[in-house]
Structure 1
Amino acid sequence: MKLLAKLIAGIIAGIAVGGIYYLVGDGGTMSSIMEFIVRLFVTMQSVLGAFIFFTIPFIILFFIASGISKIGTGSGKVVGATLGVAYLSTLGAGLLAYAVASFIMPRITGDSQVPEEGAAIAPFLEFDIPPVMDILPALVLAFAVGIVNILKLDVMIKFFDQGKDITEFIIEKVIIRILPFYIAGVFAGMAATGTVFDTLLVFGVVLLVAIILHWVWLMFQYTIAGSLLKQNPFKMLKNMLPAYFTALGTMSSAATIPVTLARTKENGIRARIADFVVPLGATIHLSGSTITIVSCSIAVMTILPGYDIPGLWEMVGVILLLGVVMIAAPGVPGGAIMAASGVLMANLGFNEAAVAFMIALYVAQDSFGTATNVTGDGAVAGIIDAYEQKLNKKA
């Protein structure tokens, strides 16, 4: 919650500075002073944004390569089934969000939009740091290295594990700390044109839609699990509420694992299944996060100029990639959207303004997305338990 509070403070500061400049109008000493301050904020956005986007390929490379190499313990069929169910759940959640958002968001946003880039206040200097590699090459290389690391090549595993540790340290100690200042610069530039308030009102509705979709998807997951186990899905979901509310407070799937495990076993899931599926699900099952990212990305594209809502098959490709790259998400608030932003930039053409919106929106509901992820892990465990029992009967 500390990060959310800081982001809100950054948004307020940016709106205040840009809003005062917009209200005082052109000409006069006060206008000149406020223009100078707004340009400072926008310059800060340019410098910090260059560093943030420089790190994204490293996030994708090291986290995916390290994560893939660690998947491969336990029964092969159970591991494969767990990966498959978690991935299908993430894909299904993304498609649900796309269908609903594509219908609702254009009606919510209406004629709301932020100004064209040419109308924005220019920074004192344009600061650009070319990344070492583009997003897609980083993704392909991460897959290749991750698969090779399954062969247990100790030197490579150590290199990418340590690379992950370094990158995670930079995210937690540097990027997360400068995000409020970056967001302040973005909103200062927007407020200086007078269009920010309509945008914020729209995004409040977008977040509400995303949270409702979280609960719809949880009901769907537990309906399937309950039918396979011949249990009441509503009772199963009720038993998982302590895990849901724990995740709301911690904003961490990993920190919630003990509670998720206990409540999953309370639903009658056998211990050896729960002990394997729940910790793995905390890493690979990200249906709640996917719902939010897809919903918010559609909203951003309906507001920002120059974007069109992608077609179904184009969005399927984006969701498929999101289901993979967010496995790389570090255990810090906002980590998932930092990893996912590379896909949004490469596949949907998001610029810095669009990514800044996504970061602010995602962090605003990070706890709800995480709560949906971990609560859904209990349903995945139930499905795998039923599958494993069926395998044993055939044996």
Structure 2
Amino acid sequence: MVEGKKSKKGLGLVPRLIIAITIGILVGMYCPSFVTSILITASDLFKEFLMFIIPLMIVAFVTMGIADLSQGAGKLLAFTAAISYASTLLAGSASYAVSSKFFPSFVNEGVVAKVASACDKVIDGYFSLTITPLLETTSAVVLAFVLGVCISAMRGKEIGDTLYNVIKDFSKIITKVLGRVIIPILPLYICGTFAKMTYQGTTFAIMSVLWKVFVIVILLHLIYLIVAFTFAGLMTKRNPITMMKNQIPGYLTAIGTQSSAATIPVNIKCAESNGISEEIRNFVVPLCANIHMAGSMITITCCVTATLLIYGMPHGFLTLFPFICVLGIALVASPGAPGGSIFTATPFFPIVGIPLASDIASLLQAMYIAQDSFGTACNVSGDNAISALVDMFYHKYIKKDKKS
């Protein structure tokens, strides 16, 4: 925000989504079918634009995420990245284990049957416009990985900064599109989805499941943080309870801002309170804000598992685990963009059998964003558990080697 300009306070994304869902339900229940069709038309047009932007977003953000990942201090970077990925992977796997155990108890045959019966009551928009993406999502992912790895390895050695700066500027353009177009119009997209589901008679069956999913997700976030800080405390001989107490300002800031980046200054202060050395906290906290996404992974895994159960789709561990493994890497693309994690995850929905341009995908996006702030808070809090482990590694192995 520029000094001297008045800040415009408006409704946050979550309140706008809640309003959009409410309007969609009311339209689907009480309005003539032509009103629902109008909403569906607008929703479908937005969906086409979103499908066009997603491959571009992947090229921009994943390339930058990988290219920037190599800018660090050798062994320290490798150790931090390895712990971050392992933490994200374990969080997603544990989330699936809990989801697959408890979700079937409230996603019963009645819910599945009601959702399946929606196919019998068809309602569509009045027209559609096909916008062909410049790249398929798989091609975009491969291109992003090739560019990111090559820039990271060759920059400053075999090539200059030109390509890096082009991708960086392109990333800023896509971030602007997300912030100024995608996110503001997203509530209309969700509104059309819920109007259609309500008209077909599935909304309340699904909503009866979602609030239980939300409760379990938040509990999993808290359990993850307890385990992470307990492990870090035991390994570094720090008091886990004190570490968690010192992390509260960072946790609450992340809930309020829904931004890992905005929480970095507060999180560095939390790390300082936990006795993390200055060189490590200044290195690890900003880095992990971009590469450590355990909270987001927990939320996405729970939402995907619940959605697969609701729609009667295969949901075994072998279905979800490749998705979790890929997402653990791809989510380095998500920070800095509004709703970044779920939009970064969207191109990988087909891994678990969810079509990209579908009501299931838009439902998943709404489910995630409704609890995004808690996922962000879990992400940044977990960063400081990692910073304690990296601090121990640094002083025990790297700094010791330098002195010798």
Whether the 8 Å contact between 1:136 and 1:346 is mirrored in structure 2 is no
Which residue identity lines up with residue 112 of structure 1 in the other structure? V
C-alpha distance in 2 between matches for 1:40 and 1:9: 18
Measured against aligned partners, the alpha-carbon deviations of 1:149-176 in whole angstroms (never above 9, x if no partner) come to 1222322112211111111111110000
Q: Which moved more, 1:116-125 or 1:220-229?
A: 116-125
Residue 13 (str. 1) matches residue 18 (str. 2): no
Find the residue that maps to 1:109 and give its secondary structure. Answer: coil
2:223 maps to: 216
**Could you tell me which amino acid in structure 1 is paired with residue 361 of structure 2?**
V
Instruction: Output the CA distance in 2 between the equivalents of 1:56 and 1:64.
Output: 11
Q: CA deviation at 1:314?
A: 3.3
In the TM superposition, 1:227-376 aligns within 5 A as: 227-305=234-312, 307-309=313-315, 311-351=316-356, 352-376=358-382
Measure the CA separation in 2 of the matches of 1:267 and 1:282: 18
C-alpha distance in 1, partners of 2:400/2:141? 40
Distance 2:216 2:42 in 1: 32
CA distance in 1, matches of 2:318, 2:82: 20
The question of whether the paired residues in 2 share the 8 Å contact of 1:242 and 1:263 is answered with yes
Shift of residue 194, structure 1, vs aligned partner: 2.1
Distance 1:60 1:195 in 2: 32
Cα distance in 2 for partners of 1:117, 1:135 equals: 27
The structural deviation recorded for 1:107 is 1.4
* Contact 2:118-2:200 at 8 Å conserved across structures: no
The aligned counterpart of 1:112 is 111
Contact map agreement 1:95 1:316 (CA 8 A) in 2: yes
Q: Is the 8 A contact 1:254 1:331 kept in 2?
A: yes
- One-letter amino acid of the counterpart of residue 16, structure 1: L
Q: How does 1:83-232 map to 2 (within 5 A)?
A: 83-110=81-108, 111-113=110-112, 114=115, 115-150=117-152, 151-152=154-155, 153-232=160-239
Contact 2:250 2:270 (C-alpha < 8 Å) held by counterparts: yes
Measured in 2, the distance between the counterparts of 1:74 and 1:5 equals: 39
- The answer (yes or no) to whether the contact 2:261–2:335 under 8 Å persists in 1 is no
Q: Matched residues in 2 for 1:118 and 1:90: separation?
A: 40
Contact preservation (8 Å) 2:323, 2:351 = no
1:26 maps to which residue?
A: none
Query: Equivalents in 2 of 1:390, 1:224: separation in Å?
Result: 17
In 1, distance between residues paired with 2:275 and 2:195?
53
Asked if the contact 1:290/1:323 (under 8 Å) is kept, the reply is yes
Residues 33-90 of structure 1, C-alpha deviations (whole Å, 9 max, x = no match): x111111111111111111122111111110111211122332100000000011110
Question: Are the structure 2 counterparts of residues 366 and 99 from structure 1 closer, same or farther at C-alpha, using a change threshold of 3 Å?
Answer: same
**Using the alignment, how far apart are the partners of 1:313 and 1:345 within structure 2?**
14
Amino acid aligned to 2:329: V
Q: Which amino acid aligns with 2:150?
A: V
> Post-superposition shift, 1:127?
3.0
Higher mean C-alpha displacement, 108-117 vs 246-255: 108-117
Tell me if structure 1 keeps the 8 A contact 2:354–2:360: no
Give 1:60's match in structure 2, choosing from 58, 61, 64: 58
TM superposition shift of 1:332: 3.8
Question: Partner letter of residue 40 of structure 2?
Answer: V
Matches of 1:189 and 1:232 in 2, distance apart? 52
CA RMSD of aligned residues (A): 1.5
Q: Which ranges in structure 1 are unaligned for 5 or more consecutive residues?
A: 22-33
- Counterparts of 2:19 and 2:66 in 1: how far apart (Å)? 37
Aligned residue identity for 1:11: I
Deviations 1:256-275 (A, max 9, x none): 00110011111111111111
1:60 and 1:139 in contact (8 A); partners too: yes
- Judge conservation of contact 1:58–1:138 (CA < 8 Å) in 2: yes
> Quick check: 2:52–2:131 contact (8 Å CA) kept in 1?
yes
On the 8 A contact 2:290/2:335 being kept in 1, the answer is no
Instruction: Give 1:330 deviation, angstroms.
Output: 4.2
Gaps of 5+ in 2: 1-10
Deviation at 1:313, TM superposition (A): 3.2
Q: Deviations over 1:165-214 (max 9, x none)?
A: 11111111000011000001000001112221121121011011111000
Aligned residues: 381
**Alpha-carbon deviation of 1:118?**
4.9
Shift of 1:386: 1.2
Of all paired residues, the percent bearing the same amino acid is 36
CA distance in 2, matches of 1:119, 1:78: 57
After superposing the two structures, state which structure 1 stretch, 195-204 or 67-76, moved more.
Answer: 67-76
Equivalent position amino acid for 2:344 in 1: A
Letter of the aligned partner of 2:142 in structure 1? Answer: V
Looking at structure 1, the residues matched to 337 and 370 of structure 2 have their Cα atoms a distance apart, in angstroms, of 14
Secondary structure of the corresponding residue to residue 279 of structure 2: helix
Check conservation: 2:63, 2:147, Cα contact below 8 A. Answer: yes
Measured against aligned partners, the alpha-carbon deviations of 1:84-110 in whole angstroms (never above 9, x if no partner) come to 001111001000111111111121211
